[in-house]
Amino acid sequence: MGVTVRYRLISTVAILAALMLAPALAHPSFGQNAARGQNAGRGRAPAKPTPRWPDGTVNWGPPVGEIGLWNLRATFADPDPAPGKPPTLAANAFPGRPTLSQVPFQPWALAIYDYRLQNMLEPYSRCKPGGAYRQVATAYGTQFIYFPELQQFIIFQTGGAHSFRTIYMDGRDHPKNLSPSYFGHNIGHFEGDTLVVDTVGYNERMWISTGALEGMPTTDRLHTIERFTRTDFNTIKYELTIDDPGAYTATWKTGWFINWSPGVESFEFICQDNNQASELMVGSMESVDRSSSFIP
């Protein structure tokens, strides 16, 4: 079993998520495990090869007898450089990842995105799940579990809204007349060591991005293709293709790297019990109207 968890908040995590999840930071095992994970990353030797099961397939978690988790340090799109300044190479630079100005917004979608940046009525602070990237990038992360006998690959969300996404690996097609949902309908297959996930049937209630660039809108025409590749023991390369003719003028891609942190474990987290984002949920800031339950 592999686990993907962000064990500490990073710059790309929205402030609202930090407020919401603050009580969990006080959990004793979280602090101890995070310290072990941080120390383990310093002076790390060259990565070992991708771990495999006896049949040669990729093991998406630690070898038997070891513990650890995936530490996601993701940027959905890179910021545009300041006028007259050269681009700043991000610490987690990813080949081909767009800057914000390169994202092919339709005019209405860009207006909604700008509105969301100002108001930050993020569904996540209301304990709602998010599809594709937003599920993988949730604070305290996700668990990846592959069941070959069931022909299913399941992604369990740990932080935020407890939920799961089932990826069907049995060769089926997407059904007709899907009822839109947060996670959509997921079918997958392996291309060598890469898990490829094809998803349609999303609703418009989830936000696909997070952090400083959160709030990129999507419609029920959204079609995503995700590619997970464990390139070595310490790294998963994640690539996301976004095809939504309802919100964007062209198909576009983004991606990032997920890093392995040994010696760290997840812990129980209940969104509703730990939610401290009351200001974000009911509204109290003078400059922003947060009184509406509608999430645009």
HEC readout, 197-236:
EEEECECCCCCCCCHHHCCCCCCCCCEEEEEEEEEECCEE
Please state the rounded mean pLDDT for residues 23-35: 37
Please state the rounded mean pLDDT for residues 210-218: 77
How many domains is the chain partitioned into structurally?
1
The 3-state DSSP class for residue 36 equals: helix
pLDDT of 185 > 80? The answer is yes
In a domain, 294, yes or no: no
Q: Residue 100 has which token pair?
A: 């914000």
In a domain, 244, yes or no: yes
Predicted confidence band of residue 190 (pLDDT cuts 50, 70, 90):
very high
Q: What proportion of the chain, given as a percentage, has pLDDT over 70?
A: 69
Question: How far apart are the C-alpha atoms of 175 and 94, rounded to whole Å?
Answer: 34
In a domain, 46, yes or no: yes
Q: Residue 195 has which token pair?
A: 């898990």
In a domain, 86, yes or no: no
In a domain, 293, yes or no: no
In a domain, 87, yes or no: no
Please give the model's pTM, rounded to 2 decimal places.
0.77
In a domain, 13, yes or no: yes
Question: How far apart are the C-alpha atoms of 231 and 233, rounded to whole Å?
Answer: 7
Question: How far apart are the C-alpha atoms of 259 and 236, rounded to whole Å?
Answer: 7
pLDDT of 282 > 70? The answer is no
Question: How far apart are the C-alpha atoms of 33 and 139, rounded to whole Å?
Answer: 15
CA–CA distances in Å: residue 15 to residues 204, 210, 249, 280:
23, 10, 30, 10
Ranking 100-104, 155-159, 278-282 by mean pLDDT, the lowest is 278-282
Domain housing 25: 2-79+92-282
- Give the pLDDT confidence of 114-128 residue by residue, as tens digits: 888 877 777 777 778
With residue 17 as reference, give the H or E element that holds it.
helix 15-25
| Mean pLDDT estimate for the chain | 75
pLDDT at 76: 77
pLDDT at 5: 31
pLDDT at 30: 33
pLDDT of 24 > 50? The answer is no
Confirm if 6 and 139 have CB atoms less than 8 A apart: yes
In a domain, 150, yes or no: yes
Highest mean pLDDT (candidates 184-188, 213-217, 261-265): 184-188
